[in-house]
Amino acid sequence: MRRPIAALKTLIRLDFLLIFILGLFLASGCGKKQQESELAQQQNAKDVVKEGDVVKVEYKGSLEDGTVFDESKEGEPLIFVVGSGQIIPGFDKAVVGMKLNEEKKVTIQKEDAYGERDETLVKVFPRNILPENLKPRKDMILSMRDNNGRILPAKVVEVTADSLTLDLNHPLAGKNLVFDIKVIGIE
């Protein structure tokens, strides 16, 4: 008589074990679906540019008359953090909301690019600020450091025996800029 009871207990344990394993299997499947769903949501979130994303873009920048002033080289995209101030504000704003592999053309007003020209930034310096071996000429672009160590372009406007007149405005100041942009990466 003991054997049928022992056999019954073994069957109950096996049934319980099978139910337990089936429960784990089902739970892991549901968890997997939830993980897949979360992963898909994260992937979809990375398909649209938002502030704080690291983006890779291919671009071509031109003036309104079509003169190209800069463009990314093939295989060397521009990489920056959206909203960090690494690039001009208008370009930053233009990529927000773009999708992965989306292309668009935008015109950025001078206020959102390099600003208006500031005539107070045209300054006269003594010629001896330059190294002796440097022979400045009109329209030459020199690199100067500001008080924060940033390198700024300075265009030579006039050269005399004793002085040098430099335009410290950015070369694109006072101009609206046109960009062809393609987002090729979002992280």
Q: Are 163 and 127 in contact (CB under 8 A)?
A: yes
User: Binning pLDDT at 50, 70 and 90, where does residue 45 land?
Assistant: low
Work out the average pLDDT over 105-112: 98
Higher per-residue confidence, 18 vs 32:
32
Whether the full predicted model's pTM is greater than 0.75, yes or no, is no
Q: How far, in Å, are 32, 72, 175, 180 from residue 57 at the CA level?
A: 34, 8, 22, 10
Higher per-residue confidence, 41 vs 87:
87
Euclidean distance between the first and the last CA atom of the chain, given in angstroms as a whole number: 69
Encode pLDDT of 145-179 as tens digits.
888 888 888 999 999 999 999 999 999 999 999 99
> What is the CATH T-level fold of the domain 119-167, as seen in this structure?
Thrombin, subunit H (2.40.10)
Options 2.60.40.420, 3.30.56.10, 3.10.50.40, 3.10.129.10; CATH for 54-114+174-186 is 3.10.50.40
Q: Where are the domains of the chain?
A: 1-45, 54-114+174-186, 119-167
Strand-pair partners of 125: 164
Residue 11 has pLDDT above 50, yes or no: no
Residue 136 has pLDDT above 90, yes or no: yes
Helices (H), the chain: 2-45, 89-95
Q: Are 181 and 55 in contact (CB under 8 A)?
A: no
The pLDDT, as a whole number, for residue 29 is 52
User: Binning pLDDT at 50, 70 and 90, where does residue 46 land?
Assistant: confident
User: Binning pLDDT at 50, 70 and 90, where does residue 59 land?
Assistant: very high
Residue 42 has pLDDT above 80, yes or no: no
Q: Report the SS3 class of residue 11.
A: helix
Give the pair of three-digit tokens for residue 177: 């800029």
The pLDDT, as a whole number, for residue 79 is 98
**What whole-number distance in Å separates Cα of residue 48 and Cα of residue 183?**
9
Residue type, 171: P
The pLDDT, as a whole number, for residue 33 is 57
